[in-house]
Amino acid sequence: MKRQRRALLTIGLTGGLLLGTMALQVLGEDPAVSLWERRKLARFPEASVEKLLEGRLVPELEAYLADSFPFRDGFRRVKALLETQVFGKLDTNGYYKADGHISRLAYPLEEAQVALAAKKMQEIQKRHLGGMKVHYAAIPDKNYYLAEPNGYPSMDYGRLTEILQEDLRDMAPIDLFDCLDREDYYKTDPHWRQERLDRVVRRLGEEMGFVPTPFDRYERKVRPGFYGAYAGQSALGTKPEELVHLMGGGILETKAYHADKDEWTGVYVESADLAMDGYSYYLGGAAALQVLVNPAGETGRELILFRDSFAAPLAPLLMEAYDKVTLVDLRYMPSGLLGEHIDFGDQDVLFLYSTLVLNNGGVLR
């Protein structure tokens, strides 16, 4: 009798839990986005005979049910803890914790993708940059400092550098790998910290022939409560960080023009969607074309910076060395349109890409 009661109780509790979660899923409001995962969530699919026959309806329904499941973030957290703390997995869905940092595995090296990125840079140089002073630099992702020392697989960064040197012989390389360490990156995010870019800016100045603003002239401003991209995507759990931005030097006078919105802002953008991505405080986040102008600048120098998101906190630090910096993100602007938006002349040129983007070079248009 006791066994029967226990069995009935187990069945009843399980059934009640299933019915309760089903009711919550049916009656609750479906969120459109996940701030933790920084992505749009699947919506309830539109049913049609065509979708059913083509086999598309069931996968779309499964994606919707997974994304709208009640207490989803809590279950993701439990799953990540079980995998890493109980079952001894080194990572969960490619995310891992090491030396206080959360990171995402980035391996192996995709040589063909790196070659694609180099080819795109070559094409732009041949078409638009003849006779101009052109440099390139790869920004190591933080796995370079975290993965191998902690027993995780890592891409072959040496080979990546070799491919760039072989394919970009007409450009001057700038080595940034020895200008950084793991503490120069946010613990919950893949990006570097603006207040720790002193060595990077000095190296750029040495190679490109400008004198950078000394970092002791900047004032540090702190925005608490920053959760980087990996904080929610990994579900590993972490404390918030401080997002630091610098004020002083050429930053004070600089204005940023956002071509996609046809508007001017400061280099730090309060109106950006900081709940979705706090790092977009720098220049407002991803954009095809932006122009930074320092009206008080007297250098007579301009820079064209082909970039990814790592350049957003870096570019403002160059605004005493350059009167104007044009930022181009080839992930959003096709290279065939460059001539319509930029007057190429005697500007300095820097191709600055993280190894994460270079290892996925096909994203450059």
pLDDT digits (tens, 9 = 90+) for 177-234: 999 999 999 999 999 999 999 999 999 999 999 999 999 999 999 999 999 899 878 8
The DSSP code sequence of 210-253 is --PPPGGGSEEEEEEEE--HHHHHH------EEEEEEE-GGGTT
Sign of the C-alpha dihedral computed for residues 135, 139, 144 and 147 taken in this order: negative
Q: Is 153 helix (H, G, I), strand (E, B) or coil?
A: coil
Q: 75-84, 117-126, 136-145, 290-299 — which is least confidently predicted?
A: 75-84
**Position 58 pLDDT exceeds 80:** no
Domain ranges of the chain: 2-72, 101-363
Of 42, 148, 155, 142, the residue nearest 102 (C-alpha): 142
For 11-29, how does the pLDDT look when each residue is reduced to its tens digit (9 = 90+)?
655 545 445 444 444 555 6
Instruction: Give me the half-sphere count of Cα atoms (radius 13 Å) on the Cβ side of residue 163.
Output: 22
Q: Is 290 helix (H, G, I), strand (E, B) or coil?
A: strand
- Across residues 111-121, what is the average pLDDT? 98
For 209-220, how does the pLDDT look when each residue is reduced to its tens digit (9 = 90+)?
999 999 999 999
Q: Give the pLDDT confidence score for residue 34 in this predicted structure.
A: 55
Q: How far apart are CA 8 and CA 254, in angstroms?
A: 70
User: What's the CA dihedral at 110, 115, 120, 124 to 10 degrees?
Assistant: 150
**Position 44 pLDDT exceeds 70:** no
Q: Give the pLDDT confidence score for residue 81 in this predicted structure.
A: 60
Query: What is the model's pTM?
Result: 0.83
Instruction: Decide the pairing of beta strands 324-328 and 289-293.
Output: antiparallel
Sign of the C-alpha dihedral computed for residues 317, 321, 326 and 329 taken in this order: negative
The DSSP code sequence of 96-139 is EEETTEEEE---S--HHHHHHHHHHHHHHHHHH-TTSEEEEEEE
Q: What is the largest CA-CA distance in the chain?
A: 91
Q: How far apart are CA 115 and CA 54, in angstroms?
A: 37
**Position 314 pLDDT exceeds 90:** yes
